[in-house]
A and B are shown apart, each in its own frame.
Chain A
C-alpha cells in the first residue's frame, strides 16, 4: 500500500514538473543579473564566447591570452574584487547568427561576446547588451579614430573594436588564369566548375551576388534579395560546396581554387599554401568590424570590463593580431615594428624590384593599405543616397524572414538528380514486389494446408 502511494507521488511529481516545464517555456528570458557579492577565495567563471580561432590560444608557441588574463587578474586585480579568482571559460561559434541564437535562448550567461557590426546594431536594438561608457576603459585611447563612435554604436556605450577586415576573393594561382581576375564574376565562371566555394550563410553569400549585380547589400527592397538569391541559384551547379570554416582546409589542400573570404584569413591560408593569392573585386567590397561586447545577462560585467581592457594592452593585442591575422583597430598594434615584421615574415613576405620598390604586398601592407575610409568613399559613390559606411546593417525583420526562406529555397534548389529517383524507386519496387510475392506464397500455402486438413 505504501509503495503504491509512493508511486502515485512519483507520477504526480512528474506530471507537475512537466506542466511547470511547459508553462515556463512560454515566459523564457532570464532575470536581470545584479552585481554579485564577491567573497574571498571564490572562483568566478568568466564565459567568453568568440569566433572559432579568434584569439591567441597558446597553440604553436603563441601567447595564451586567456591564461594570461587569469594570471594577471588573480595577481593584480583580485584584491579589488574581494579576493575572487577568475577562470575563463572559452567557447566558440561559427557565425553571428548562431551566437545571437544562443544568447537569445538565454541558456548560458555569457560575459563577453564578439559580434560583427550589424549584429551589434541588432542586439542594441533588442536591448541585449550591457551599456557602459567604453571610453572610460583605461586602454580605450589606443583605438584609432575611424573606429570610434561607429555607426552601430555612435555613443560608444556598448562595444570596443577587436578586429576588422575586408572581403575579397582568394584564388589559386596554378588554377585560375590571370585574365579572369578582378571581378566578382570569377565566382560565376563556368571554366572553374567544381572548384568554387561559397559562404554557408545567407548574409555573406548573398552579399557576393549583390556586389556582382551592383545592388546595395543593405537594401530594404525584397526584390533585390530575390534577385541575389536567383543569382546564387545560377551559381549552385558550379560550386564544390557551401562552407564556413572548412574553407581553410579546402583551400590549403588545394581541394578548391576559388573562394570569397576575408583578407586576414587569406593570410592564414597563404602561410600554409603559397600558391594562393587574393584580390579585391572591382565592383566593390565592404569591411566588417568585430567588437567586444558584454551581454546584458552577464553576471560579472565589472570583471568582463577588466577582460576587455586587458585585451587592449600592447602585448596581448599584438599576440592576438599576430595569431588571427586580421587587421587591428588598435594603434599600439599598427605602430608596432615587431608586429609588422612578424606579419611580413610569418604570413606573407613582400617582394621588391631592384630599386627597392615593393612589387607584391606583404601581409602588413595588404591588411592596412586599403583604408576603411576609401572603401566607404567608394561605397558612397556607388549608392549616393546612402552616405553611410560600407558595412552590413542589421536588416528589417521582414527582410530577415524573407532571406531565411530564400536561403532554404536555395539549399533545396536543384538538389536531386534523376539517377537517384530511378534507383531508389526501383529498389522500393523490388522490395514491394518481393513482399507481395511472399505474402502470396504464404496465402497459397496456408490454403493448401487448410485443404489438406479438411480432407
Chain B
C-alpha cells in the first residue's frame, strides 16, 4: 500500500515535470503554425530552422563560447584547486573560497549587471568606440567567471582525497613539482576535472541571464535567440530549436552520467544552481 502511494506520488511529480518538455518536443513536429493545436506530424519547422541563417550562427557562437569558456575555466579552476589545497593559512583559504563562491551565490541578474557595468567601464577607459569589438571577449570572460566555482568545487574533493603522499613520492624520485603534478596528480583527479568541465560546458550552453546583460549585438547565442523568438509570434520553429538544445544537453548528461556510473564515484554533492 505504502509502496503504491509513493509510486503514484513519484509519477505525479515526474509527470508534471516532464509534460512541458514533452509538449515542446511534440509541437516541434507540428505541421501547422500553432503552438496550441496539433495539426499533424511533420519535419517542416526543422527544415525552416536549418534554412535560417540566424539559428546556425547562434549555434556556432554558442558552441565556440561553451568550448572556450569551459576549457579556460577548467585550466584555471584545476590549477586553483591545487593551489587552494596547498594553502597553509586558513584565513587566506577562506577568503579565496568565499570570493570564488560569489558568482554561485549571487543571483545571476546581479552577476550579469556587475559584468555589464564592468565592461561598460572598460569600454570607457580603453576608449573602445564599439562594444561589439570586445563583445566576444566580454562573453568569454563572463562565462568563464561563473563557471569557475563549479569547476573548483568538483576538482577540490579529488585533490583532498588524494592527499600529498603520491606527489611527495614523485618529488623524492626526482620529479619537478610541475612534472609531478602532470604525471602523478592529474591522472588521479581526472574524473573530477572532466565532470567539472562538462558542468562548465553545460552551464555556458544554457546561460541566458548573464549573456542577456553582457551580450553584444553581434554575438547571439542560442538562449538569446530563443528569448528573442518568444517575444513576438511564437511558431514551432522556436520549439524545434528548443528540442535540438534539449536533446543535445540530455545526450551530454547521459554520457557524463554513464561515465560516473562506470566509475561508481560518490554521488555529486549538489546539483548546479539555476542558470
Interface string of A240-271 (1 = CB under 8 A from B): 00001110110011000000000000001000
Interface string of A10-31 (1 = CB under 8 A from B): 0000000100111111011011
* A42→B217 CA distance, assembly (Å): 21
A30 lies within 8 A of B129 (CB): yes
Q: Does B36 contact A (CB under 8 A)?
A: yes
A109 contacts across to B, CB distance below 8 A: 129-130
* A205→B233 CA distance, assembly (Å): 21
Q: Does B269 contact A (CB under 8 A)?
A: no
* A384→B105 CA distance, assembly (Å): 60
Q: Does B15 contact A (CB under 8 A)?
A: no
Q: Name 10 extra pairs, CB < 8 A, besides A21-B124, A47-B217, A253-B35.
A: A21-B118, A25-B124, A27-B124, A31-B127, A33-B129, A49-B217, A91-B217, A246-B232, A248-B232, A249-B233
Separation in Å of the A299 CB from the closest CB of chain B?
A: 7
B132 lies within 8 A of A20 (CB): no
Separation in Å of the B209 CB from the closest CB of chain A?
A: 18
Mostly helix, strand, loop or mixed at chain B's interface? loop
A21 lies within 8 A of B232 (CB): no
B131 lies within 8 A of A107 (CB): yes
Residue in A closest to B216 when the chains form the complex, CB atoms: A108
Separation in Å of the A300 CB from the closest CB of chain B?
A: 11
**Tally of contacts, chain A with chain B, CB under 8 A:** 72
Q: Does B87 contact A (CB under 8 A)?
A: no
Q: Does B82 contact A (CB under 8 A)?
A: no
A52 lies within 8 A of B228 (CB): yes
B231 in complex: contacting residue of A59, A108, A246, A299, CB < 8 Å: A246
Per the CB 8 Å criterion, the residue count for chain B at the interface is: 26
Interface string of A37-70 (1 = CB under 8 A from B): 0000000010101001100001100000000000
B127 contacts across to A, CB distance below 8 A: 31
Interface string of B10-46 (1 = CB under 8 A from A): 0000000000000000000000011110000000000
Sample of 14 A–B contacts (CB below 8 Å): A20-B125, A21-B118, A21-B121, A21-B124, A23-B125, A24-B121, A25-B124, A45-B132, A59-B52, A105-B120, A108-B217, A245-B232, A249-B233, A249-B234
Q: Does A92 contact B (CB under 8 A)?
A: yes
A82 contacts across to B, CB distance below 8 A: none
* A156→B145 CA distance, assembly (Å): 49
Q: Does A424 contact B (CB under 8 A)?
A: no
Residue in A closest to B135 when the chains form the complex, CB atoms: A108
Interface string of A297-326 (1 = CB under 8 A from B): 101000000000000000000000000000
A253 lies within 8 A of B124 (CB): no
Q: Does B123 contact A (CB under 8 A)?
A: yes
A22 in complex: contacting residue of B121, B123, B131, CB < 8 Å: B121
A49 contacts across to B, CB distance below 8 A: 217
Separation in Å of the A36 CB from the closest CB of chain B?
A: 10
Q: Does B113 contact A (CB under 8 A)?
A: no
A45 contacts across to B, CB distance below 8 A: 132, 218
B231 lies within 8 A of A52 (CB): yes
Q: Does B122 contact A (CB under 8 A)?
A: yes
A107 lies within 8 A of B121 (CB): no
Interface string of A92-130 (1 = CB under 8 A from B): 101000000000010111000000000000000000000
* A33→B231 CA distance, assembly (Å): 34
Interface string of B232-259 (1 = CB under 8 A from A): 1110000000000000000000000000
A272 lies within 8 A of B33 (CB): yes
Q: Does A426 contact B (CB under 8 A)?
A: no
* A108→B218 CA distance, assembly (Å): 10
Separation in Å of the A271 CB from the closest CB of chain B?
A: 10
